[in-house]
Structure 1
Amino acid sequence: MIPNPAYAPEAWQTVTSHLAALGESPFWHPHEQLLYWVDISGKQILRANIDMGTVEAWDLPGEPGCMAPAASGGLVMALRHGVFRARTWGGPLQLLARLDYDASHMRANDGKCDALGRFWVGTIDETRSLNNAGLYCIDARDLAQTGAAQVRCMINPAELPATTANGLAWSPDNQTLYWADTPSHTVWAWDHDQNSNSLRARRVFASFKTQPEGWSSNGLDAGNGGYRGRPDGAAVDVQGNYWVALFEGRRVCQLAPDGSLLAEFAVPLQCPTMPCFGGEDLKTLYLTSARHHRSAAELAAFPLSGSVLSMRVEVAGLPVNFFQD
């Protein structure tokens, strides 16, 4: 299939003037009609009323790598030192689980809930040298009876060395799980049996050209040496297409279920981080971005860095999955 030409950056609109240091983990809350996202470096959860143009910020005691809405109200979130439950916006945090990593140099990163309401959390090695990131599943559906959430490591470094967990998503039939290691420039896919919660038949779903030596982050080198970014966060539409943000690549790619490129959407900033689908018809694509640790030249060239963008698309996305406890 011949991919469509890149859509122009002008297709995007700015959702809010609020600039996050490291925006991530966006989701559209269908009951509240609000857009949620996190600022990892800023240690905040944010939510916006798109119609009113207002943004609320919730300061947290640690970096929120990811979060999801809960079916019984509030949020579940993965902070540096554990997975927590908040029953209300800005309310007290209840510790659900601690993950097996050294918080002095590791933290939670990309994650979301599966269709059965289990919270999946990937981790990141901040030293970028140990290849010991993993993917965990936190199941709190029997919390009232057992008194504790069940934690399983679903992907560990012994089977797949990784540094930065990203790109987590499921196919519409929930039988395929996607997961990426950003520094490896690779997205993998597994067959996922939800009932037994087992993964098998790992294969490369998509790979992207690595960053060439000497590549500059001055905001002017997109495409230099063939490098056009590395896979960050992702979302899936109702047709099973995988939408992934290419960090440092100024683009979002739409990949078919077989991994082939269907279309790419140019973005008016260097570092998009994660898309999600929202709005009443789930045909608005929202996109978070980063400005933390980016060069002054890049920020001058791309003043929208750190903002949330939106764009209308032709195919609806899958709705957010709610945490069950």
Structure 2
Amino acid sequence: MDADLIRAVSPPCLLGESPMWHPREQVLYWCDIPGRRLHRLDPATGQTQHWDFPVEPASVAPALDGTLRLAMRDGLWCFDPATGKRERLAAPPYDPATERFNDGKCDPQGRFWVGTVYEPRDPALAALYCWDGTTLSRRAEGITVSNGLAWSVDGRTMYWSDTKAHAVYAFDFDPAGGGLSRRRTFAEFPKRTPDEPLDAYGGRPDGAAVDSEGCYWVAMFEGQRVLRLSPDGVVLQEVRLPVRCPTMPCFGGPDLKTLYITTACEKRPADELAAQPLAGCVLALRVAVPGLPAHVACP
């Protein structure tokens, strides 16, 4: 474990996801998907707050008008943390009995991109959608577990991963219209073999974030690590973690040099949880290169 890795928040989530440093509020938001809860932490005061929902919130993004965008099993929502009220923007474009929204972020132009998880895991029926403020449209498909959304510093490359396939993809991204082209494999990781010990497994790519040098930080679920990849997909740095299942990093703090990492403890073996008491907690690590601020959704 890295010596300067610290526990940021307690108690643990079942499946912490979508950490987002709010660029205006200067606080951290994140979701507990199966816990059906949205959390907020003010690191300056240590104050925490949470909101409970009737269905799973999977990802959160800031909006210009002070509200939040929430991707949930039952659609896309505008949520006001000041009042606790939510207003649905779009119905789910899938059968909520077998699919739900998952990883989601805004692009530099304020469009909200959200992928899905096809819960039976086979066939690969999950997809990627884009909400432009008026219309929800399907933009990519052919995967099982959508994750890893991020944009390059110049906003002309979009990253997207399929966790089950152990692959991260890159697209040429058209900033003006949000068009995707030239899909290619950015990084690929070995799948776990049936007889491979979990301690020897490197994990599969989950959520991600890009720093100001254009490097892609990705949480390796079940791999007990976060990797920093160059813009060419080469591993530059490995951060070992005290928990088996990191889910997503984001950059926060006033200087954007604190790497917050959500983690999971849901359905993990009892002996693993006993050995890893921080499982499910949000971790924080100081890094040398600052990240990019979260993009803000247009009203």
Q: TM-score range by the shorter chain?
A: over 0.9
Question: Which of 206, 210, 223 does residue 236 from structure 1 map onto?
Answer: 210
Matched, 1:273 2:247: yes
Q: Please point out which of 154, 169, 172 is paired with 1:173.
A: 154
Aligned counterpart in structure 2 of residue 41 of structure 1, from 24, 34, 40:
34
- Give the match's secondary structure for 1:137: strand
Please report how far the alpha carbon of residue 90 of structure 1 lies from its aligned counterpart in structure 2 after TM superposition: 4.8
Which 10-residue stretch deviates more, 254-263 or 87-96?
87-96
Q: CA deviation at 1:99?
A: 3.1
Q: Distance in 1 between matches of 2:183 and 2:97?
A: 31
Percent sequence identity over matched residues?
Answer: 48
Which of 129, 139, 164 in structure 1 is aligned with 2:132?
A: 139
> What is the deviation of 1:32?
1.5
1:153 to 110, 113, 138: 138
Q: How many residues align structurally?
A: 299
CA contact (8 A) 1:187 1:206 kept: yes
Q: Confirm or deny that 1:198 pairs with 2:179.
A: yes
Contact kept, 8 Å, 1:10 with 1:268, in 2: the verdict is: no
Q: Which runs of 4+ in 1 moved over 3 A?
A: none
Residue matched to 1:105? 98
- What is the distance in 2 between the residues matched to 1:271 and 1:89? 32
Which residue type is aligned with residue 151 of structure 1? L
CA distance in 1, matches of 2:236, 2:88: 42
Residue by residue over 1:139-163, the C-alpha shift from the partner in whole angstroms, topping out at 9 and shown as x without a partner, is 11xxxxxxxx21111102xxxx211
Q: Specify the alignment match of 2:276 in structure 1.
A: 302
Please give the secondary structure, in 2, of the residue aligned with 1:222: helix
- How far has the Cα of 1:93 moved from its partner? 1.1
Q: How does 1:1-325 map to 2 (within 5 A)?
A: 8-140=1-133, 149-156=134-141, 161-215=142-196, 221-223=198-200, 227-325=201-299
In 1, distance between residues paired with 2:271 and 2:123?
31
Judge conservation of contact 2:73–2:92 (CA < 8 Å) in 1.
no
2:29–2:60 Cα contact (<8 Å) kept = no
Report the TM-score when normalising by structure 1.
0.90
Cα deviation digits, residues 38-60 of structure 1 (max 9, x gap): 00010000001112222211001
List gaps (5 residues or longer) in structure 1. Answer: 1-7, 141-148
AA aligned to 2:45 is: M
C-alpha displacement of 1:9: 2.9
Distance 1:18 1:32 in 2: 23
Q: CA deviation at 1:259?
A: 0.2
SS in 1 for 2:30: strand
Deviation at 1:215, TM superposition (A): 4.5
How far apart, in 2, do the equivalents of 1:120 and 1:231 lie? 18
Amino acid at match of 2:95: D
The verdict on how the C-alpha distance between 1:215 and 1:297 changes in structure 2, with shifts beyond 3 A counting, is: farther
Report the more deviating stretch, 31-40 or 248-257. 31-40
Equivalent AA in structure 2 for residue 259 of structure 1: G
* Separation in structure 1 between the aligned mates of residue 54 and residue 297 of structure 2, nearest angstrom: 22
Q: Shift in Å at residue 285 of structure 1?
A: 0.4
* Cα deviation 1:17-41 (Å, max 9, x = unaligned): 2200000000111221211100001
Q: Gaps (5+ residues) in structure 2?
A: none
